Amino acid sequence: MGVLNLTSDSFYDGGHHVSLETALAHGRRMAEEGADFIDVGGESTRPGAEPVSEQEELDRVVPVIERLRRDVACAISVDTMKPAVMREACRAGARLVNDVNALRAPGAIEAVSDAGAAACLMHMQNEPRTMQLAPSYVDVLAEVTDYLLERVHDCVDHGLPRESLVLDPGFGFGKRLEHNLALLAGLPALAALGFPLLVGLSRKSMLGQLCDGAPVDQRLAASLAAATAAILGGAAIVRVHDVRETRDAVRVATAIRRAREERTG
C-alpha cells in the first residue's frame, strides 16, 4: 500500500503532493512501482496533528481519487475518520476505508456498509493530538487484541461482513518504542485471529529511535527491515512511502514465509 498524503503537515512527505498534478504524478508512479493499493489521505494523523474541516478534507481527496481511479489499475483506499468523507471517497472510487479511529464515529459503519466497501480497523490510544503524551499499557498485545476484536464485533453486529475487515495494530499511535516492539513480535498472534493484517511502520519515529536518532529521510533501510519483519510475522499489507524498494523486500519475505509454511505443514 503506497501512501499518498495530500497534507501540508504529514511527518514525512507533508507538502510534497498538495497540488492535484503532483499528487496524481506520485500516485501513478507508485502504481508503476508495484503498489497494490494507493492510500489517499487529506488529514494528517501524526502525533500532535490538528484536525481539518470536513470540506477541506473532501476538497483534497475526492478529485485525486476520481482521477486515480481512471489512471491506475490498483485499488484506491481513503485514509479518513470522517463518515462524510468515507461516503464521497467511495463514490469517487475508493474501495477500502482506512480509519485510524476504527469506524467509531457516528455513521462511519453505515457509510462503509452503504458503499459496499472494505474497512481497515486500527487501534489508537486517545487521539492524534494527545496519543503520544503518556501512552500506557499493562499488556499491550492483549489490550490491542481485545480492542480490535471489540471493534470487529461492533462492525459485524451493524452489518459489515467479517470478510470485508482488515486489522491494524496501530504502530506509533499511542505507543512507546517498547509497545511497538512488543506488537511487532506479537504479530503472529494477531494474524491468528483470522483477519488480514495491515502494518504501517514506514519511516516512523520508532525506527529513528532504533537507529541512533536517524532523521526521517534516512530511515529507508530500517523501514525495509521493518516491512520484512512484518511480512514474516503474518502481515498481509504493508503501508509504505517507498513502494519500489519495499516491493522487493516483500517478495523476499513472502518467499521465506511460504517456505517456512511448507516445511511446518
Q: Which of 239, 251, 257, 260 is catalytic?
A: 239
Q: Which residues does 47 contact at the CB level (< 8 Å), separation at least 6? A: 128, 131, 132, 172
Q: Tell which wins on pLDDT, 55 or 132.
A: 55
The amino acid present at 31, given as its one-letter code, is: A
Element (H, E) at 5: strand 2-5
Model confidence band, residue 18 (pLDDT cutoffs 50, 70, 90): low
Lookup: cell for 228: 520484512
pLDDT at position 104 is: 97
pLDDT at position 50 is: 79
Q: Is the pLDDT reported for residue 17 higher than 80?
A: no
pLDDT digits (tens, 9 = 90+) for 168-177: 999 999 999 9
pLDDT digits (tens, 9 = 90+) for 199-247: 999 999 999 999 999 999 999 999 999 999 999 999 999 999 999 999 9
pLDDT at position 139 is: 97
What is the arithmetic mean of pLDDT over 92-100? 98
Helix (H, G, I), strand (E, B) or coil at 67: helix
Q: State residue 121 phi and psi, 5-degree precision.
A: -100, 120
Verify whether residue 239 is a known catalytic residue: yes
Q: Which residues does 32 contact at the CB level (< 8 Å), separation at least 6? A: none
Q: Which of 46, 82, 204, 219 is catalytic?
A: 204
Q: Tell which wins on pLDDT, 128 or 91.
A: 91
**What is the maximal distance between C-alpha atoms in the chain?**
53
Q: Is the pLDDT reported for residue 49 higher than 90?
A: no
Percent of the chain whose pLDDT exceeds 70: 96
Verify whether residue 95 is a known catalytic residue: no
Task: Please report, for residues 43, 60, 70, 201, the alpha-carbon distance to residue 6 in angstroms, rounded to integers and kept in the order given.
Answer: 8, 6, 19, 19
Q: Is the pLDDT reported for residue 15 higher than 80?
A: no
Report d(CA 264, CA 257) in Å as an integer: 11
Lookup: cell for 248: 522487493
Model confidence band, residue 13 (pLDDT cutoffs 50, 70, 90): low
Site of grid cell 514525512 = 12
* pTM of the shown model: 0.94
pLDDT at position 45 is: 84
Q: Tell which wins on pLDDT, 246 or 135.
A: 246
What is the arithmetic mean of pLDDT over 55-73? 96
DSSP character string of 40-57 = EESS--STTPPP--HHHH
Report d(CA 77, CA 237) in Å as an integer: 12
pLDDT digits (tens, 9 = 90+) for 68-94: 999 999 999 999 999 999 999 999 999
Q: Provide long-range contacts, Cβ within 8 A and 24+ apart, for 75-78.
A: 75/36, 75/37, 75/38, 76/37, 76/38, 76/40, 77/1, 77/37, 77/38, 77/39, 77/40, 77/120, 78/39, 78/40, 78/41
